[in-house]
Amino acid sequence: MAVNRTISIACQIAKGMGYLHAKGIVHRDLKTRNIFVEANSRVVIGDFGVFNFVRLCKKAKWGNYLNVPPSWLCYIAPEIIQALNLNYAFVTTASELPLTPSSDVFAFGTVWYELLTNEFPFKGSPAEAVIYLSGRGIKQNLRIPGPKDFKEILTQCWAYSPTRRPEFTTVVRLLDRLPKLHRSPSYPAKPTSCINSVSHDSLLV
C-alpha cells in the first residue's frame, strides 16, 4: 500500500474514533476486521460499542478459561490483560474490565502497525507468549518501514500506562504532519490535510 494512502486511512480511523469518544462511546473492539475501506477510499468503522468480553469467558469442569479469537490478543491493552489474569480469565460484567478511550488508542496502535507492516504484532507467537509480553508492556520489535515519526506514533499509542497514551485528536495531528515532514516522489505534490478531508459523521455506519 502506498504510504500516502496508508496515512489517509489511518487518519480517517483516528478521526472516527475521536468522534466516538467525543460522544462518550468506547469502541472496545477496534481492529482491522472491523474497519472497511470503500472503493472511493472512504473508511467506515463498524461494530463500535457492541463487543462483549464476557461472552469470551467460559466455565469448565477443570476451571475457567478465555475463548480467544485468532490474533485478537495483540489489540488488547496491558491493563485489560492484567484484569483478565487477575480474574483467572473469568469476568461476569464488562464493568470489571478497564475498557476506556485509552484502551481504544492502544488498539489503534496495533491497527497502525498492521497498516505499516501488513502483519500482526508478535506474529507466530503462541497466545501464552503474547499474554505474558503484552501484559508486561513488552512491545513487538519496532522494525517498521518509514521515518522515525511512524514509530513515534506507534510508541505513544502503545504506551504501557493508559495515562501516557494520546487522545485521538492528538493522533490525528501527528498523522496529518507526516506527508509534510517526509514528502518524497511517492507522495502527492500537494497532499490534502486529513484533518479537513473527511467529515466525522461519514466514518460511522
Helix, strand and coil percent figures for the chain, each rounded to 5: 50, 5, 45
> Which residues are tagged catalytic?
29
Q: Which helix (H) or strand (E) holds 105?
A: helix 101-117
Q: Which helix (H) or strand (E) holds 45?
A: strand 43-45
Instruction: Give the pLDDT confidence of 93-119 residue by residue, as tens digits.
Output: 556 678 899 999 999 999 999 999 998
- Tell me what percent of the residues of the chain surpass a pLDDT of 90: 39
pLDDT computed for residue 163 by the predictor: 97
User: Which has the minimum average pLDDT: 8-12, 134-138, 158-162, 201-205?
Assistant: 201-205
Closest CA to 166 of 129, 85, 128, 112: 112
User: Which has the minimum average pLDDT: 56-60, 78-82, 146-150, 192-196?
Assistant: 192-196
Q: Where are the domains of the chain?
A: 3-177
Grid cell in block for residue 24: 462518550
What is the pTM assigned to this prediction? 0.79
pLDDT computed for residue 132 by the predictor: 82
Instruction: Give the pLDDT confidence of 32-74 residue by residue, as tens digits.
Output: 988 999 888 899 998 754 455 555 555 544 455 555 665 788 8
pLDDT > 90? residue 185: no
Q: Which fold has domain 3-177?
A: Transferase(Phosphotransferase); domain 1 (1.10.510)
